[in-house]
Amino acid sequence: MSKKICLTGVKPTGMPHLGNYIGAIKPAIEMANSGLYDSYYFIADYHSLINVHDAKVLKNYIYEVAATWLAMGLDPKTVTLYKQSDVPEILELNWIMNCFTSKGLMNRAHAYKAMVQENEKEERDRDSGVNMGLFSYPVLMACDIMILNADVVPVGADQLQHIEIARDIAHSFNSIYVKDYEKMRQKSPDSKYKIKGSILTPPEAIVAEGNKLLSGLDGRKMSKSYNNHIPLFSTEKELQKLINRITTDSSGPTEPKNPDDSLIFDFYQTFATADQTADLRSRYLKGIGWGEAKADLLNVLNETLRGPREIYNELMNDTKKIDLILEEGASRVRPQAQKLIQEIKKTIGVK
């Protein structure tokens, strides 16, 4: 029995930070390397065009994201890694699916609604700063998924709407071109059941349970927009400067401290072994200086990231290696994409 297809897209927005790694990259790589699925990971470079309009910047972002995933353990021999723009069939499918997507559905998309609300709050035109890429990108995201008829898509809870939109679009298309599709859907309400004759597979979302959200240097959610993040492949000197910015209280070096109320300890236990964590907890309860705790954190982060950092730097210094991996990935995807496009063209009557 063939494995289900699992697909994940990563938008290139610069070097990922520690929060990205813990919350998304690490669990996604573990899932991909589990062997439970036929896994496809793509770099969503066309999505970045919504707000990145500098060619050199975007090209570097693409390399940074690809190098990060490879350095952190994604195996391109077992997982197909490719670039969205290397599969032009996605954009062909995008136009076709636009013709089966209601504007009302796009009006309800979270990113567009948030922009409109912000404009109204600032008393600007409600569509100020909104380009068609932002407005309709959920359709492109749906096509990223459906071009391979992916069965499952790992997402965070904030991305569930996009999978629901993809499902709605697939159902809309199938209901028009697949005989008795709606009747069969009613008989088999279980959405995981693939209806006979379906052309597009309505994808299922997999929401990882218990994924840790790493706080930033100031205690808020780690985010580039807050400038409270730690880039994943910072040098040792950069790491030290960033760790020194972590918010602490004014307690003295010999005073006992609560490890469960410490950003430093929270970072530490995320990357340390169980024995290391237990040891630091004990020293917190006995009394530890913040400088000593920060030094321990620097050591454990360096221990974790030293090897991946070397791989990352090697790839970024020889991006032809990345190009070859992405091209190989696209060569695996395109035959499947072309087959689907040909089927859809026959179905809609243009071939």
User: Is 226 within the bounds of a domain?
Assistant: no
Asked whether the CA dihedral 294, 267, 60, 54 is positive or negative, the reply is negative
Domain of residue 278, CATH code: 1.10.240.10
- The residue among 186 and 258 whose pLDDT is bigger is 258
pLDDT tens-digit map of 189-216: 655 557 777 899 999 998 866 566 788 9
Joined together, the tokens standing for residue 230 give 């730690």
Is there a single domain that holds both residue 184 and residue 260? no
Is there a single domain that holds both residue 190 and residue 285? no
The residue assigned the tokens 């569509």 is 127
> Shortest CA distance to 10 belongs to which of 41, 37, 51, 33?
41
Q: Is the pLDDT of residue 8 over 60?
A: yes
User: Is 78 within the bounds of a domain?
Assistant: yes
Least confident of 21-25, 94-98, 259-263, 281-285: 21-25
pLDDT tens-digit map of 25-71: 888 888 888 888 999 999 999 999 999 999 999 999 999 999 999 99
Domain of residue 326, CATH code: 3.40.50.620
Is there a single domain that holds both residue 306 and residue 342? no
Is there a single domain that holds both residue 23 and residue 120? yes
User: Is 223 within the bounds of a domain?
Assistant: no
User: How confident is the prediction for the chain on average, in pLDDT?
Assistant: 92
Q: Is the pLDDT of residue 102 over 70?
A: yes
Note whether 333 and 40 are within 8 A (CB). yes
Distance from CA of residue 88 to its chain's centroid?
21
Is there a single domain that holds both residue 168 and residue 56? yes
User: Is 343 within the bounds of a domain?
Assistant: yes
Is there a single domain that holds both residue 208 and residue 326? yes
The residue assigned the tokens 């401290």 is 257
Give the pLDDT confidence score for residue 15 in this predicted structure: 87
User: Is 252 within the bounds of a domain?
Assistant: yes
* Structural domain boundaries enclosing 181: 5-212+318-348
The residue assigned the tokens 């297809």 is 5
The residue assigned the tokens 């000593």 is 292
Give the pLDDT confidence score for residue 181 in this predicted structure: 87
Give the CA-trace dihedral at 89, 94, 97, 98, to 10 degrees.
-160
- The residue among 265 and 185 whose pLDDT is bigger is 265
Is there a single domain that holds both residue 331 and residue 288? no
User: Is 251 within the bounds of a domain?
Assistant: yes
> Shortest CA distance to 50 belongs to which of 60, 58, 41, 42?
58
Phi and psi at residue 217, in whole multiples of 5°?
-65, -25
Specify whether the backbone of 37 is left (phi greater than 0), alpha (psi in -120 to 50) or beta. Answer: beta
Is there a single domain that holds both residue 101 and residue 239? no
User: Is 220 within the bounds of a domain?
Assistant: no
Could you give the number of structural domains in the chain? 2
Host H or E run for residue 276: helix 274-286
Is there a single domain that holds both residue 115 and residue 152? yes
Is there a single domain that holds both residue 26 and residue 112? yes
Is there a single domain that holds both residue 21 and residue 169? yes
Is there a single domain that holds both residue 118 and residue 135? yes
Give the pLDDT confidence score for residue 191 in this predicted structure: 54
- Contacts of residue 95, Cβ cutoff 8 Å, sequence gap at least 6: none
Phi and psi at residue 302, in whole multiples of 5°?
-65, -40
For the chain, the helix, strand and coil percentages under 3-state DSSP, each to the nearest 5: 60, 10, 35
User: Is 139 within the bounds of a domain?
Assistant: yes
Per DSSP, the residues of 153-175 read EEE-GGGHHHHHHHHHHHHHHHH
